[in-house]
Amino acid sequence: MKIATFNINGIKARMGALTDWLTQSAPDIALLQEIKSVDEAFPRAHFEDLGYSVHTHGQKGFNGVAIMSKLPLEDITMGLPGDAEDEQARWIEATVVGKQAVRLCGLYLPNGNPCPGPKYDYKLAWMERLEARATALLAEETPFLLAGDYNIIPQDEDAARPDAWREDALARPESRAAFRRLLNLGLTEAFRTRKNGPGHYSFWDYQAGAWNRNDGIRIDHFLLSPDCADLLRDCWIEAEVRGREKPSDHVPVWVDLDL
């Protein structure tokens, strides 16, 4: 089963590009971020015609996450537990059943800039809630994955110019420490099981020719529970999508699970 995570940076702006990608690359399941649309305005019928069921947790003009699946999904829920007053649409969950059930958690983690400040405080608090949710899922002993735009550069090798990111919320020590706490729960960072070293990126800014200079960062990740990691066959970044017409500033990251 091939599952991709993709920050599309706006469904209205990326409708054609997303359609082409789904048609050409044909993921079984796509976890999307930054749909930037309320649920009722999302063009779900168009994607249902392509063979996908569509489930969204949207927000007007900002954020928003979605799951598109060619396979039946169960127990679909929206919103990261832990803060009843949080109105930002950044989390969606569902269960897919293949050879066994796997819980899919799609996330769009807060950027956190400028920092320090309230946006960074929100980012770190959100990551505490994410850690609590991962801990709860581990206790349930159902295989699960946490996938999406983490807005975290885990290590210096995940940026073409690490010094340029030292004081950014994506690479500050507190952000990286929170990411490591997730790994220390026993989760596996799927991409690094297949590729080591620098030069692997999932985001390039639109400005200053970043794509042409390969001035990128790796901030889109799959974290797998131990039982889910046992199902992993491969993980890769589909970087060539960045060179297509009207691209997002992110590219898809994939896992192939024996499911």
Give the active site residues.
108, 149
The neighbouring-strand residues paired with 217 are 159, 203
Q: How far apart, in whole angstroms, are the C-alpha atoms of residue 241 and residue 218?
A: 15
Which amino acid is residue 24, in one-letter code?
Q
Cα 79 from Cα 83, distance rounded (Å) = 9
Instruction: Give the gyration radius of the chain's Cα atoms.
Output: 17
Q: How far apart are the first and last CA of the chain?
A: 6
Distances (CA, A) of 5 to 30, 73, 82, 115, 150: 6, 17, 24, 27, 11
Residue 222 is classified by DSSP as: E
The string of DSSP codes covering 35-87 is --S-GGGS-HHHHHTTT-EEEEE--TTS--EEEEESS-EEEEEES-TT-TT--
Count of Cβ atoms closer than 10 Å to residue 150 Cβ: 28
- Determine the residue type at 203: F
Distance CA 79, CA 87 (A): 8
Q: What are phi and psi of 20, to 5 degrees?
A: -60, -40
Helices and strands: H and E segment counts in the chain: 5, 14
